[in-house]
Amino acid sequence: MKTMVTGCNGFIGTHLVRRLLNEGFRVRGYDLKKSSITDPNFEFIQGDILDMEKLRESMDGCESVFHLAAQTTVPESTSDPYHDFKTNAEGTFNVLLAAKELGAKVIYTSTSTVYGLADTPTNESHPLKPISFYGASKAAGDLYCFAFHHTFEADTVILRLYNVYGPGNGKGVMYDLFKKLERDSSHLEVIGTGLQRKDYVYIDDVIDAFLITYEKGASGEAYNVGSGVSVTVNEIVKNILDILQLNPEITYTGQSWEGDVESALADISRFKSLGWRPKVSIEDGIRRTYEWLKD
């Protein structure tokens, strides 16, 4: 079983590569930055998903592709929407075209932001109405997956990830809060109102989702991957302060970043029907994240 992982050096990509190797896969990693993974069953190729010739050449011989390479934040998509579009929309089109020509299955990593300001809990049939450039560029990838499947009968599966956190993630609300308290334990500035309510899913549960999708995911389908539980930023703050045994002064910016979806909750019933269940609670996940940061 030889598979390719684009974006193999990212937070999720690194975890996925290691898990695939443990499961007996031969893995070909593809990324702009060099990989530090050393394993006889791992082959790394440094490349850009916008380089169609190199991408196609690198994918040759792989029976599946986990496509994770992307521009991954809403603020960066706002500051440079053209780069966001090229990487996420055009880059995904390139991956799908190369995979179609080579007969490889594509498991595409999408995001809950494709739904925009959605009613919650949100299921996969909800219209795609993104409010950020990031959401729009990722939604384009979703739509191209559907188009390749229906037009060319390409084997494509979409995973719409909610807020993934855990060891190895050097961005996001939990990392931000822990680092601020490390710099100054007497004061904590929280972005927004603290009332933002989102669905956070732990990295190990997400990697389980990728493996189950590889085995059981229906071609031409999209699946939500979340915890099925919504948590406010204030609840995360309280959990972190309990772990650190701190009682700082807390202030709020009152406004989040442009394009931020302040309420999200996944309906995960479709994916649960494949046998997947999130196993790590938010309390346990935050504690594990703290242990990683501490070390």
pLDDT at 1: 81
- Answer yes or no: are the C-beta atoms of 71 and 123 closer than 8 Å: no
pTM of the model: 0.96
How far apart, in whole angstroms, are the C-alpha atoms of residue 142 and residue 11?
Answer: 21
**Residue ranges covered by each domain of the chain:** 2-164+200-225, 166-198+229-262+280-294
Beta bridge partners of 44: 29
Distance (Å, rounded) from C-alpha 70 to C-alpha 11?
Answer: 12
- Supply φ then ψ for residue 28, to 5 degrees: -110, 115
**Which CATH superfamily hosts domain 166-198+229-262+280-294?**
UDP-galactose 4-epimerase, domain 1 (3.90.25.10)
The confidence score (pLDDT) of residue 256 equals 86
Superfamily of domain 2-164+200-225: NAD(P)-binding Rossmann-like Domain (3.40.50.720)
User: pLDDT by residue for the chain (295 residues), tens digit each?
Assistant: 899 999 999 999 999 999 999 999 999 999 999 998 999 999 999 999 999 999 999 999 999 999 999 999 999 999 999 999 999 999 999 999 999 999 999 999 999 999 999 999 999 999 999 999 999 999 999 999 999 999 999 999 999 999 999 999 999 999 999 999 999 999 999 999 999 999 999 999 999 999 999 999 999 999 999 999 999 999 999 999 999 999 999 999 998 888 899 999 999 999 999 999 999 999 999 999 999 999 8
- Single out the residue of 55, 71, 218, 200 nearest to residue 141, CA to CA: 71
Dihedral of CA 124/219/146/227: which sign? positive
Structure tokens at 3: 């598979």
What span, in angstroms and rounded, lies between the C-alpha atoms of 15 and 10? 8
